[in-house]
């Protein structure tokens, strides 16, 4: 059963060694990611998960060994994250890096799951249900960026006028723990807006059962309390950070 989820973006610039002199520009985003991962590892009510699965988009759907590593060499720094062979895609590499930044130790059981970015919603939902059933208390670290078609600064013309409404809808869904809204995201529109997180977000929706609509009480939907910790687009790409915990606060 899914008990908690954290949603984080996966730009290489989250890693200060990659960002270099620009690293301070994303300090607030990094802090939000650390908080989301802290809540994930702690678990609702202070009860940690039995299994933590890092989910992120890539070319094909596949699972990786717990010791699988990722490399940031394609982004200009000789940094390997994890003890094994560097085979993880970018999304899971940044997810593994975020776990390594956590104050508290990660659970003993950690898995890495890639999902094809072009996978249809039904496949993503099914994968989410399978992951949620893998242990009694499952937590997901869901890696994904929003649209890459946003204005880079106020006053700029949007690259695609559909991007801001799309991202606003995703932000609401993450804030409200609205799994049904995530499940309903259009893969065609998501692809046109260069959204890297759609498939992974729909895995999260499947893990919750994509059940229930709003009850009108502070972001509690389908058994989860949601909190949106960051919603920014500093480089024309939307980055969200959110925390979902089962039960009311």
- Model pTM score: 0.92
Q: For 27-41, 98-112, 198-212, which range has the lowest pLDDT when averaged over its residues?
A: 98-112
- Give the pairing of strands 51-58 and 110-116: parallel
- The DSSP string of 46-70 is G---SEEEEEEEESS-EEE-TT-BE
At 41, is the pLDDT very low, low, confident or very high (cuts 50, 70, 90)? very high
What pLDDT score does 106 carry? Answer: 54
CA distance 91 to 40: 18
Q: How many CA atoms lie within 13 A of 94 on its CB side?
A: 25
Is residue 125 within 8 Å of residue 205, measured between CB atoms?
Answer: yes
CA end-to-end distance (rounded Å), the chain: 19
- Mind listing the pLDDT tens digit for each residue in 135-177? 999 999 999 999 999 976 655 666 899 999 999 999 999 999 9
- Give the pairing of strands 220-221 and 110-116: unpaired
Is residue 131 within 8 Å of residue 207, measured between CB atoms?
Answer: yes
What pLDDT score does 218 carry? Answer: 36
Residue 80's Cβ-count burial label (10 Å; 0-12, 13-18, 19+) is: middle
* Mean pLDDT computed over 107-135: 94
CA distance 16 to 19: 5
- Pick from 132, 139, 125: nearest CA to 199: 125
Residue 76's Cβ-count burial label (10 Å; 0-12, 13-18, 19+) is: exposed
CA distance 98 to 90: 12
141 bridge partner residues:
6, 54
Per cent of the chain over pLDDT 70 is 89
């Amino acid at each position: 059963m899914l008990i908690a989820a954290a949603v984080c973006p996966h730009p290489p610039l989250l890693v200060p060694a990659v960002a270099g002199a620009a690293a301070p520009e994303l300090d607030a985003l990094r802090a939000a990611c650390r908080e989301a991962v802290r809540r994930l590892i702690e678990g609702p009510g202070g009860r940690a998960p039995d299994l933590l699965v890092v989910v992120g988009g890539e070319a094909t759907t596949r699972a990786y060994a717990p010791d699988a590593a990722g490399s940031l060499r394609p982004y200009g720094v000789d940094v390997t994250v994890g003890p094994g062979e560097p085979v993880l895609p970018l999304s899971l590499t940044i997810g593994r890096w975020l776990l390594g930044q956590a104050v508290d130790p990660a659970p003993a059981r950690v898995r890495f799951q890639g999902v094809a970015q072009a996978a249809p919603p039904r496949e993503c939902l099914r994968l989410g249900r399978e992951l949620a059933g893998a242990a009694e208390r499952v937590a997901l670290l869901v890696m994904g960026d929003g649209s890459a078609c946003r204005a880079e600064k106020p006053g700029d013309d949007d690259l695609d006028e559909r991007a801001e409404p799309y991202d606003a809808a995703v932000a609401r869904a993450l804030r409200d723990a609205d799994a049904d809204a995530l499940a309903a995201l259009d893969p065609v529109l998501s692809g046109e807006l260069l959204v890297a997180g759609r498939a992974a977000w729909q895995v999260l929706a499947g893990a919750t059962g994509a059940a229930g609509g709003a009850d009108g009480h502070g972001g509690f939907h389908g058994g989860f309390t949601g909190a949106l910790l960051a919603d920014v687009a500093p480089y024309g790409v939307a980055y969200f950070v959110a925390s979902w915990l089962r039960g009311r606060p």
